Amino acid sequence: MIFEGYVESDLRVEISGAEKEVYDPNNVLGKYTRLFCGLPERWYGVYGPADEKPIEPENLLNWQVWYRVERV
């Protein structure tokens, strides 16, 4: 779980990736950002690669993101 709480008008999801190295500096793999605006009822669903065409925001250069937004 990355967030649990009340949202009124917008929600930003940001996830940063890094490859941990023991002897070398960590390699930064980039950052995923998605902004949800408007009615929260429209945000519910599963997000990940292959759910949108032609641009896949969850398909980053070296990694991918899957998550879901649900009502609790």
Contacts of 3 (CB under 8 A, 6+ apart): 11, 13
Residue 3: its pLDDT value, please? Answer: 85
| pLDDT tens, residue by residue, 12-55 | 999 888 778 778 777 778 889 999 999 988 999 999 887 667 77
Q: 19 versus 67: which is more confidently predicted?
A: 67
Q: What's the CA gap between 55 and 68, in Å, rounded?
A: 19
**pTM over cut 0.75:** no
Domain residue spans of the chain: 10-69
Task: Please check the confidence at residue 1 and state whether its pLDDT lies above 80.
Answer: yes
pLDDT of residue 43: 92
Q: Which of 45, 46, 37, 48 is nearest to 7 (CA)?
A: 37
- What is the mean pLDDT of the segment spanning 57-71? 87
